[in-house]
Amino acid sequence: YLIQHATVKSFTVADGLISAQISGVTLHQVSDIYQDLMASDLVKSVQVYTAETEEDKTDGQVNAALTIDLTGDKTSDTGSEEVTAP
């Protein structure tokens, strides 16, 4: 969902939680991402912690931080991993 709609700057996966920093989206697109994620059987909840306008952008694009809580029904917990985009 995130990759289709946003630039994922970094994400962390641990204990059934995905924390993602995204950019290149409008607030409306953040709302769409939230709704898409909540419609998934794998997702228990989604929280949008921050959404801020990028300083050099005048097109309404924002940076946002999302935490996605997975239900665990169809997931396997294999530890934690952090990835940061170059």
Q: Is pTM beyond 0.75 here?
A: no
Quick check: 76 pLDDT over 70?
no
Q: Taking the CA atoms of 50, 53, 59 and 65 in sequence, report the sign of the dihedral they define.
A: negative
Which amino acid does the sequence have at 61?
A: Q
- CB-CB contact of 36 with 16 (8 Å): no
Sheet of strand 62-70: strand arrangement: 43-53, 62-70, 17-25, 7-14, 80-84
**Average pLDDT score over residue span 29-58:** 85
Count of H-run helices and E-run strands, the chain: 2, 5
What integer pLDDT is reported at residue 72 of this predicted model?
A: 65
